[in-house]
Amino acid sequence: MSSQTQSSPAHDAKPALPKRAQIVLSGTKPTGENLHLGNYFGALRQFVDLQDQHDTALYFIADYHSMTSLRNGAERRRNTLNVALDYLAAGLDPERAILFRQSDLPEVTELTWILTSVTPMGMLERAHAYKAAQDKGEDVDHGLFTYPVLMAADILLYGSHLVPVGRDQKQHIEMARDMAHRFNRLYECEALTLPEPYILEETATVPGTDGRKMSKSYGNTIAMFAAKNAVKKAVMGIVTDSTPVEAPKDVQQAVFEIWSLFATPEEREAMFARARAGGLGYGDVKKDLLARLMDYFEPMRARRAALEARPQEIEAVLRAGVVRARQLAMPVLEACREAAGLGPVRG
């Protein structure tokens, strides 16, 4: 089995972009040591693709958002640097995309308040993350409950048209649209632009090693840049059914879905035919997956290692990014303030 390919099915089936899309924006929470395959195939790879296709692309590190689950400042700083490294290693280019840290533009919290005042409680009570936490009987703090409003502010503050994300974020973008619409209607203005999600069907929900959605909170991730031993352990630990080697296999399993991320459509078809015919061992699929995965990320790993030695450069990239982000944000915030009758009288 070859481990050379860099393309995958998702590359060949992208949804048409809305014509008027000019500003692309997305973010990632710095809640772990480094990003996983779900983050990469569900979102980050699209960030890289889209940085060249639009007038402006903004990608931020959502450190305010991470506060609902991470209560260690030193760890947040480390993770924030790591997400910046992952962004750059994956191919985001500060010349072509604006990379910044969410908390460097605290004005986003002002827009959060403005939006909070037009957001019905019922809308927030329907949010998946809040409902899931409640179902688990967790103590829900106000940050988690209000999370969708901060996310709406993140998107709306820059007049974003298109938001590349995994499927788990679709509901949040719908909520951002609702809030923008309500604000514009209540204050009879057009201060806020309604964003569209950009979700690739094939990688909308990347499964984790246990078959559930890959997520740090489930402990089922395969990290992009972990040490080879750790990646190997995670890959070899992907849960499979107990079908014997010679028997036909069900291809609707995480091991095949994850393997497919690193295969062309033709390779996928051939692999699935072999699986259905019987005689294919899961161990062989996992070994091939590991080889492909290591090959795929090798150039990015090398880039990351080089960048890691120069953290001051990363900081400079983020500081330059927020200057450009602020230029987009301030007119939108001013338009909201003006419509809502906030601040000094103009003119």
Residues that bind ligand AMP (CB under 6 A): 28-29, 38-39, 42-43, 62, 165-166, 168-169, 205-206, 213-215
Please say which residue, 53 or 217, places its beta carbon nearer to ligand AMP.
Answer: 217
Is residue 179 helix, strand or coil?
A: helix
What does the DSSP assignment read for 275-302? Answer: HHHS---HHHHHHHHHHHHHHHHHHHHH
**Nearest-approach distance from CB 27 to ligand AMP, in angstroms:** 7
**Nearest-approach distance from CB 272 to ligand AMP, in angstroms:** 21
Please say which residue, 43 or 50, places its beta carbon nearer to ligand AMP.
Answer: 43
> Burial of 27 by CB count in 10 Å (0-12 exposed, 13-18 middle, 19+ buried)?
buried
Please say which residue, 63 or 288, places its beta carbon nearer to ligand AMP.
Answer: 63
- C-alpha 293/C-alpha 206 separation (Å) is 15
Q: Which of 180, 161, 183, 142 is nearest to 342 (CA)?
A: 183
Cα 265 to the chain's mean position, in Å? 24
**Nearest-approach distance from CB 296 to ligand AMP, in angstroms:** 17
Which uninterrupted H or E stretch holds 101?
strand 98-101
Residue type, 198: Y
The count of other CB atoms within 10 Å of the CB of residue 217 is: 11
**Nearest-approach distance from CB 198 to ligand AMP, in angstroms:** 10
Please say which residue, 119 or 209, places its beta carbon nearer to ligand AMP.
Answer: 209
**Of all residues in this chain, which one has the CB nearest to ligand AMP in the complex?**
42
Please say which residue, 28 or 146, places its beta carbon nearer to ligand AMP.
Answer: 28
- Cα atoms in the 13 Å half-sphere on the side-chain side of 16: 3
Please say which residue, 184 or 205, places its beta carbon nearer to ligand AMP.
Answer: 205
Query: What are the percentages of helix, strand and coil residues in the chain, rounded to 5?
Result: 55, 5, 35
**Nearest-approach distance from CB 346 to ligand AMP, in angstroms:** 37
**Nearest-approach distance from CB 168 to ligand AMP, in angstroms:** 5
